[in-house]
Chains A and B, each alone.
Chain A
Amino acid sequence: MEFQPVYVVDGARTPFLKGRNAPGPFSASDLALQAGRALLIRQCFAPTDLDEVILGCASPSPDEVNIGRVVALRLGCGHKVPGWTVMRNCASGMQALDSAIANIQNGRSQLVLAGGVDALSHAPLLYSEAMVRWFAQMMQARTLGQKVGVFAKLRPAQLLSPVIGLLKGLTDPNIGLLMGQTAENLAWRFDISRHDMDQFSVGSHQRAVAARAVGHFGEVVPLVDGKGTVYSEDDGVRADSNLNSLSKLKPFFDRRYGRVTPGNSSQITDGAAWLILASQAAVDHWQLEPLGRISDSQWAGLDPAQMGLGPVHAATPILQRNGLALEDIDLWEINEAFAAQVLACLAAWESDDYCRDQLGLPQALGALPRGRLNVDGGAVAVGHPVGASGARIVLHLLHAMRQAKVRRGVAAICIGGGQGGAMLIETTA
């Protein structure tokens, strides 16, 4: 069946704010609200004219589990605009776009606000199972004697060693590997050195700094908190990033012997990104001038222990379906969960073995021109608020393509649990 294109009318994101071992200044719904209202006030239609709001979020807080609806109401979309939440780990934001696309293509919606958010710095500390059992016994104790008995069983060590919700989220639930350990797997498999990873990471920062200097982050709208503090830029980007300092960092995931460090991984951050998607009919009705269109999308599954290769598995079918080679794509955004993981994707496409065994191709797909990849830096520099990143790369790719005056781009993302997502983007100009 022909993929009916869906238009991207406009988009905006918050600056990505680095987690600093304590809850950041904004909750997830605050972030989505501030980016969303800045985006909506510049439209020629009212928030109430939207058909639905879809928000991807990997870790909504317990009081905002359907955060999509919470934010829709906070944005003034009114009672009648439905809002919902999607979750596909690191691709939750891209899933929101794809769900909007599906509803637009089958005629259920014409105009959709879709995006992603996460406030990872607000991830909760949890009680261990043992502590929860203790609380349950305490609740059931009726007499003073029973209560004293239960109280005596309390082990302070359990009380004082909570489960860190964020680490749970970043651990594969089937194989028990930390995401960083899956990146170590790829580094081992494709023989990616610590030096290559660090060099890639320095490049990510340098590109982000350069892009900022020439105003290439026009999609970023500032945040303001109740104290009047303005946050206008991604605060994890380091102009002083260099090989020497990165090389001093210790491996974090496979301690002592590994290669993946916090410096060559994406940063734990808080942020939100939104796009407005529209059908052809909505574009005509509101006389919209879209940034571009999404012409194809693809999801793929693979071994969870190799999850970082997800972009390869998702983007390849799109290229095949559209009769395109790697070099036919003018610009690429591959989310930088880990420097090792992006480098592994490039290596996989260049590998005859991998392309033959895993993708069913006769030989290697080829070399992705490095100058076309993540031209304004990636998540290693700007951060990776899990649910927001999928929406961010699609939005930024459109901006970068318009800047470079090119036609075709692919945004792809790896997904914890062993999946990948990709979208083919075209500018309309």
Chain B
Amino acid sequence: MNKDENNYQNWRLAVDADGLAWATLDKAGESTNSLSSAVMDELALILDRLDSSPPRGLIFRSGKSAGFIAGADIQEFTQLDTAAKGVALVERGWQLFNRLAAVTYPTLALVRGHCLGGGLELALACRYLLAVDEPTTRLGLPEVMLGIVPGWGGMLRLPARIGPQAALDMMLTGKSLDAKRAKRAGLADDCVPARVMDNAAALLVLADQPRRRPALLQRLLNGGPLRPLVARAARKQVGKRARIEHYPAPYAIIELWEKHQGNALAAPELIDRLVRSPTARNLVRVFFMQERLKGFGKASNFQAKRVHVVGAGVMGGDIAAWCALRGLTVTLQDQGMERIAPALQRAYAAYAKRIRDPYELRSAMDRLIPDPEGHGARSADVVIEAIFENLEAKRALLEQLDAVIKPDAVLATNTSSLRIEDLNSCLSRPGRLIGIHFFNPVAKMPLVEVVAADGADAETLARGTAFVKQIDRLPLPVKSAPGFLVNAVLGPYMLEAMRAVDEGLALETVDEAMLAFGMPMGPIELVDMVGLDVAMAAGKSLAGGNAEPPRCLVEHYNAGHLGKKAGRGFYQYRAGKVAKGVPGTVPAGLAERLLAPLLDQTQKLVSDGVVADADLADAGVIFGTGFAPFTGGPLHYMRNRSA
């Protein structure tokens, strides 16, 4: 191959014996490719050079093992404070990719691993897209999750390539496709194993056959007259999940596609609105907080292979299933196979929904080993206690485990209400016990609190945090204190909501106040979800026993309405679905009133040092409770409100 004599910082360009140019993106100083302005500028230079001596074809590929291109450089989004800057950013990619799409020679993107946002927009600007059939290959336009729009041609080319319905679905939800689905949808021209990808890429480009077009119906829907119909349906869908005042981006995507051929430059007022709304800034902020949490897991290079979980109830069983899904070999202990079997059943049902390859599904189940006698503890790298919340039972168990586990194993408790200091005193080294506190449902809640008691062993904490990162959860370091961060913050909030019910407000009205604020679930429904028994017990220990519990809680509790799990709590549940009435008019200031105790408590926990700083508290409350992400978190919200 002839190497290009130009010296690019981020690209390698070579022409092979067939006259094909191979442009390899290998962004300097990073493990992942993103489309920074430097990368884009160099791409323009490459196109200049190829204009002067056109190759037989051009193939884009990645020089990173992590994937193709993760998207735009999100760091650059943080500087978007004026509409002019927003327009300039859009313009850069829109024009460059239009130029790429117009070159005379055939082009192809060889996609292996993630191909997201701007990365997919680059790939869409190529004539062909070849996806490598590996589990890590994902193609998507997740811009909406950062409160922005796919303005570099995604809104133009994705609907044209796969039809507007599928394209809008991807752009409005941020959902990505794997290689096989990408081929089926018509996004990828082919889906091949890695061993033939180079040959396949070269053959596709050299053959330069016309692409397969989307079905006639999809082409009609993407044409002028029928667009409003599709747009209306899409708006209705989005309306169910996101209110325009909270999340303007999805509505902007629909409008740009419907009226402007996906060209954001044609509607600068829309870009202006997005850039000015705090949502995009806050969502980018949330993105970086997420990166910060992930970073905690990198403090140790500990890699667990074997996990032992004691307690096969909902939490323990789901923790074990999650770890096995993430590739670890897990032994799950409880008193007898009959107690473990329901956890295996839940795991099987959950895996069957997620995993389509029957061999992969089988090996995930093979890794989840029922262990009624607890033999697996001896060889485990991480041992998690998740039995019922009883001090004596937990102490006895931990003492037994302490005697048999490996000296350097991470010993953790999933307790939510007991003090680690009360649990660890029976151990050979009290400092070896840490809290690894998961939230329910484990597979859906990204946050895990890593709890340090006084005198906790630093190395064990680092390993525990690395383990949480290893299983793709976000570790939040917290100090041992009642309720840690998340439950301590939710307690007073739910309490206040129940007091409002005691004052005569309808359940639905109380919940609606917070849904309108942007919470994923109302506080009363949340109590049902947590369980009224848990709320009663937690209320006693968290409130210190001096406060009278809400009347409505006591009444339902005494009537045996224990929440969603019992089919009845504050609400009735049919087949796991809540039956809610129509909310009444929400009294002015109700949301602020319900929120106040949550905000105060978050502030207090930061002052008390339970969580290291305000940003981490915001991250914890967002990822642990679903607190409206567009606000940037409770403390951020409080600061902005008073500003």
Binding site for B on A (CB under 8 A): 33, 37-38, 41-42, 44, 46, 74-76, 222, 224, 226-230, 232
Contacts and interface: CB of A to CB of B under 8 A. Distances in A.
Interface string B65-103: 000000000000000000000000000000000000000
Nearest to A30: B362
Interface string B334-370: 0001101110111011001000000000110111011
A224 B337 contact: yes
Q: Is the interface of A mostly helix, strand, loop or mixed?
A: loop
Interface stretch (B374-382, B409-417, B538-546): B374-382
B62 interface: no
Nearest to A226: B348
20 contacts: A38-B369, A41-B331, A41-B375, A41-B379, A42-B373, A44-B378, A74-B362, A74-B366, A76-B329, A76-B366, A76-B367, A226-B344, A226-B365, A228-B341, A228-B344, A228-B346, A230-B337, A230-B338, A230-B341, A232-B337
A406 B255 CA distance: 86
A44 B406 CA distance: 12
Contacts of B363: 74
Given A37-B369, A76-B366, 19 more contacts: A37-B366, A38-B369, A41-B331, A41-B371, A41-B376, A42-B373, A46-B379, A74-B363, A74-B366, A76-B329, A76-B367, A224-B337, A224-B341, A224-B370, A228-B344, A228-B345, A228-B348, A229-B341, A230-B341
Contacts of B379: 41, 46
Contacts of A33: 366
A226 B345 contact: yes
A288 B33 CA distance: 52
A37 B372 CA distance: 13
Contact of B340 (A46, A224, A232): A224
A33 B344 CA distance: 15
Q: Is the interface of B mostly helix, strand, loop or mixed?
A: helix
Contacts of B378: 44
Contacts of B345: 226-228
Interface in B469-494: none
Contacts of A44: 378
B185 to A, nearest CB: 30
Interface in B162-177: none
A227 B342 CA distance: 8
A224 B378 CA distance: 23
B376 A228 contact: no
B442 to A, nearest CB: 18
Contacts of A46: 379
Contacts of A229: 341
B580 to A, nearest CB: 31
A78 to B, nearest CB: 11
Contacts of B331: 41
Nearest to A223: B337
A227 B341 CA distance: 8
A201 to B, nearest CB: 30
Q: Which 4 A-B pairs have the closest CB atoms?
A: A228-B345, A226-B348, A42-B375, A228-B341
Interface centre among A41, A46, A75, A224 (most CB of B within 10 A): A41
A227 B363 CA distance: 17
A33 B349 CA distance: 20
A38 B331 CA distance: 10
Nearest to A231: B337
A250 B363 CA distance: 45
A74 B218 CA distance: 45
